[in-house]
Amino acid sequence: MSNDVRVAVSGDEPALVPYITAGDPSLAATTEYVEALAAGGADVIELGMPFSEPIADGPTIQNAIQRSLEAGTTPERYFELVESLDIDVPIVCMTYYNLLYQYGEGEPGDSDYERLLPFVERAAEAGVSGLIIPDLPVDESDPLRQACDEYGVDLIFIVAPTTTDERLAKMREQVSGFVYVQARLGTTGAQADVSDATHESLTRLAEWEVPKAVGFGVSEGQHATEIVEAGAAGVVAGSVFVDMIAAGEDVPNKLEAKARELKQGALDGAVSSTPEPGK
């Protein structure tokens, strides 16, 4: 199993980064789904660890998280699942800060770094390659950065359209793995035209060395094509997969087919775009 997220996203061909929530509707199912996504061409899989207050997620994923919690998913069971996976695709854990903070037995007077270490240690041990913590802005991320460095786990940040240049500078110092570029304001749902916004966002990050994966609203191959044409190294897609899981019919095949469609879309984008020199 490769755990180098950066390599996975910045490979020769554009990367597909699908998201699903672990434990939705059960951990056993998740294993199947992850395998299906990998088979469909996923380069990195974002696997959500459910938290009861998902303030950064849209209703689709919020409902998936609720199903997962009702099915009894806990951080420990999540890690056990990741350990048991037999795929050649790095896993990025997407969850909220409080779960990291509560993992392990904290002592009064512990620093944040000390409180976070057990989670990161366990994640690394289980084979998690990176973390995305959407409620942890760069401003509060020093202790986790430090813990991640200790265990060689990537800490992936999200860049938003609203992010100021001043904040970009701060983030650039902390960034590892890849940058998750939120192409637009808002949350989920198919977007009619993603390329302009994507292009604009990528322009601001042109000089960053880490690869950029663009997400929010990708549901069709055509979206992936446009995103890659606009210059992204990877395409992130979540709601489209979670919807299929929620529908519950013939899920693995559908996931695989959709992953294939998006991956192909991304590949099409790479062909039609003029590759930058040296890439």
Partner 1 sequence: TKFGEYGGQYVPEVLMPAIEELTDAYERYVLDNEDGFMDEFRERLADFGGRPTPIQRADRLSERYDAEVYLKREDLLHGGAHKLNNALGQVLLAKYMGKERIVAETGAGQHGTATAMAAAHLDMPCEIYMGKRDIRRQRPNVFRMRLNGAELNPVTVGRGTLKEAINETMRDWATSVEDTHYVIGSIVGPHPFPRMVRDFHSVIGEEIRAGIEEKTGDLPDSLVACAGGGSNTMGTFHDLVPDEEVSLFAVEAGGDGLIVDDEEGVAPHSASLSTGSEGVLHGARTKLLQDADGQIVESHSVSSGLDYAGVGPELSYLVDEGRVTPVNVDDTAALEGFHRLSRTEGIIPALESAHALAFLEAELGPDADGEHDLGEVIVVNVSGRGDKDLEAVIEETEKRDLDAAPSMEVLYE
Exposed, middle or buried: residue 87 (CB in 10 Å: 0-12, 13-18, 19+)?
A: middle
C-beta of 125 vs 250, nearer to partner 1: 125
Count other Cβ atoms within 10 Å, centred on residue 168. 16
Q: Peptide bond before 25: cis, by omega within 30 degrees of 0? A: yes
Which residues sit at the interface with partner 1, rule CB under 8 A? 51-59, 62-63, 66, 69, 74-76, 96-103, 106, 134-140, 157-164, 167, 182, 185-187
**What letter would DSSP give residue 78?**
H
Least separation in angstroms between CB 161 and partner 1: 7
Report the nearest approach of partner 1 to the CB of residue 99 (Å).
5
Task: Write the CA distances from 254 to 40, 46, 84, 266, integer angstroms.
Answer: 10, 18, 23, 18
Residues with Cβ < 8 Å from 26, sequence gap 6 or more? 71
C-beta of 99 vs 202, nearer to partner 1:
99
46 among known catalytic residues: yes
Q: Which residues contact 214 (CB under 8 A, 6 or more apart)?
A: 181, 183, 194, 198, 201, 202, 227, 230, 232, 234, 235, 236
CB nearer to partner 1: give 3 or 191: 191
d(CA 237, CA 224): 9
CB of 34 to partner 1, least distance (A): 22
Cα–Cα distance list, 236 to 4, 51, 72 (Å): 17, 21, 27
- Residue 139 annotated to the active site: no
Closest approach, Cβ 259 to partner 1, in A, equals 26
Compare residues 133 and 153 and give the one whose CB is closer to partner 1. Answer: 133
Task: Indicate which residue of 24, 35, 43, 57 is catalytic.
Answer: 57
Longest dimension (CA), the chain: 57
32 vs 83, which CB is nearer to partner 1? 83
Closer of 74 and 273 to partner 1 (Cβ): 74
Spatial separation of the C-alpha atoms in residues 232 and 44, rounded to whole Å: 15
- Here the tokens at position 71 are 């099915």
Structure tokens at 177: 């793995």
Phi, psi of 57 (to 5 degrees): -105, 150
Catalytically annotated residue among 46, 154, 226, 261: 46
Catalytic residue IDs? 46, 57
